[in-house]
Structure 1
Amino acid sequence: MELAPGIRYAVADRHGGVSAAPFDSRNLGGTTRDDPAAVRRNRELTARELGLDPARVVFMKQVHSADVRYVTEPFGADAPPLDGVFTDRPGLALAALAADCAPVLVADPVGRLVGAAHSGRVGTVSGVVPALVAAMTERGSDPADLVALIGPLACGRCYEVPESMREEACADLPELWSTTRRDTPALDVRAGITAQLTRAGVTGIRHDDRCTMEVPDLFSHRREQNTGRFAAYVWLTG
């Protein structure tokens, strides 16, 4: 699908891979307990389905940080710990893994840059998405030109947390405040990221509104505990 002119994206689901239960079947997460050979095969199959070169996909070593890096090639086995990447290289796909956290894709069709971030509770409070926008801006992007997609995540009506955690998170980002359907404390990470993007000057905000905890086609750590990871991809064409 097109995120902006000349910029494509995709959100993979959990079907169509080779992993055995409980990672069945398109697990793309390399730090799970899945067979590493199965993960490599899943990543290769997914890239080819998207028309990408499997050797030209950047996966991060995600650690719930606000660290962002410009990339020109995949990291390989020695990926540094970080949660945001961006590039200006056509055909180099960026992938953000998730299983309740938000994969966030950012496109600049004018400056010809794309970025991807992994933004869960900790990363959102730490500001990984604003850090990605700032890094792209430093490289020439105008936030007004950016288009962002906030991918599937645990929604604000499902993401239950202790009251103390809600209070702490919302002290820095009040838009995170939410309650579950049972009227217990919760966090709305989608609302928090949307507020951060808006404050950063991004107006082109799109959503994949699926809740990972409610949609069985997507992996959910909260729902299944020992499970896989899906990925959102973004890349420049031509």
Structure 2
Amino acid sequence: MTPFETAANLRTIPKVRHGFFGRRGGYSTDDFAGLNVSWSVGDDAEIVERNRDLVKSAIGAGPLVILRQVHSARVETIREPVEASAIEADAIVTATPGLALAILTADCTPILLADPETGIVGAAHAGWRGAVDGIIGNVVSAMERLGADPARILAAYGPTIHAPNYEVGDKFRADFLALHPGGTHHFHVPAGGQAHFDLPGFVEAQLRAAGIASIERVGGCTYAHPDRYFSHRYATHQGTRTGRQIAVIGMTQV
């Protein structure tokens, strides 16, 4: 069985299939050991495809719609299956049942969203750049254009790097505050150290600012648990490579 984590609020929607997967399970080996789902990190492409098949089987959804993520605030609306990585964007929404929207991460924050009344779902990749530039408000607006209501949308965000392990420095803090001057509370500075950023805290604040009341946090810190999750920053500090985990959401057709 391929393990994954789920959100209590999204589990209340009978037709929603969703999951936040980590690195456990899968066929990859060495630096990518476990359930690596990314072609672009140096893993064997056939093994990656086998891992993706495990994901689809585990949650009973598919085909997977996987973006070419570029740390933007761009959202794509889809109505039918598309070739993997053919779309360059960092969030995706659909009203089409049977599609599984997928986000790949290795420290950034995966966000899954659903409107239980309309069946509209969304998924977003919120790294610091995308989050600061408005990816969260943009994905909610794209769902609204399809007919969703932010007051009904249920959202969950998954395993991501947490503030104690996310040192960013003073320039990052200054650049962030130039765009979000009220955001000083998303930083802390350890004695004698550099600024640390609370990415999941900022993500949750942005979800609330977009009008979403039901928000769940799922999973732990990617950096602090390299046995459970892929972490780009942890791998960089260790001088190794790492894979990417996947978060998936879709509505069933029946």
> Structures share a fold, TM > 0.5?
yes
Cα distance change of structure 1 residues 78 and 146 upon mapping to structure 2, 3 Å threshold: closer
How far 1:172 sits from its partner (Å)?
2.0
Report 1:17-28 matches (<5 A): 17-28=26-37
Taking only aligned residues, the RMSD between alpha carbons, in angstroms, comes to 1.7
Which residue identity lines up with residue 106 of structure 2 in the other structure? A
Report 1:178-189 matches (<5 A): 178-179=187-188, 183-189=193-199
Counterpart position of 1:227: 242
Counterpart position of 1:86: 93
Question: Which stretches of structure 1, 4 residues or longer, exceed 3 Å deviation after superposition?
Answer: 180-183
Match of 1:130 among 137, 140, 143: 137
Report 1:208-219 matches (<5 A): 208-216=218-226, 217-219=228-230
Q: Would you say 1:65 and 2:79 are equivalent positions?
A: no
In structure 1, how many angstroms separate the alpha carbons of the residues matched to 2:121 and 2:94?
Answer: 6
In structure 2, how many angstroms separate the alpha carbons of the residues matched to 1:146 and 1:12?
Answer: 22
Partners of 1:52 and 1:93 within 8 A in 2? yes
Partners of 2:65 and 2:84 within 8 A in 1? no
In structure 2, how many angstroms separate the alpha carbons of the residues matched to 1:78 and 1:197?
Answer: 26
Partners of 1:156 and 1:180 within 8 A in 2? no
Q: How many residues align?
A: 236
Counterpart position of 1:8: 17
In structure 2, how many angstroms separate the alpha carbons of the residues matched to 1:103 and 1:175?
Answer: 23
Q: Would you say 1:199 and 2:209 are equivalent positions?
A: yes
Cα distance change of structure 1 residues 150 and 78 upon mapping to structure 2, 3 Å threshold: closer
Once the two structures are overlaid, the 10-residue window that deviates more, 6-15 or 179-188, is 179-188
In structure 1, how many angstroms separate the alpha carbons of the residues matched to 2:189 and 2:53?
Answer: 38
Partners of 2:16 and 2:251 within 8 A in 1? yes
State the identity as a percent. 37
Counterpart position of 2:3: none
Residue segments in structure 2 that go unaligned for 5+ positions in a row: 1-5
Match of 1:177 among 175, 178, 186: 186
Partners of 2:32 and 2:43 within 8 A in 1? yes
Once the two structures are overlaid, the 10-residue window that deviates more, 151-160 or 172-181, is 172-181
Q: Normalising by the residue count of structure 2, what TM-score does the alignment of the two structures yield?
A: 0.87
Q: Normalising by the residue count of structure 1, what TM-score does the alignment of the two structures yield?
A: 0.93
In structure 2, how many angstroms separate the alpha carbons of the residues matched to 1:210 and 1:137?
Answer: 30
Partners of 1:102 and 1:120 within 8 A in 2? yes
Which residue identity lines up with residue 215 of structure 2 in the other structure? I
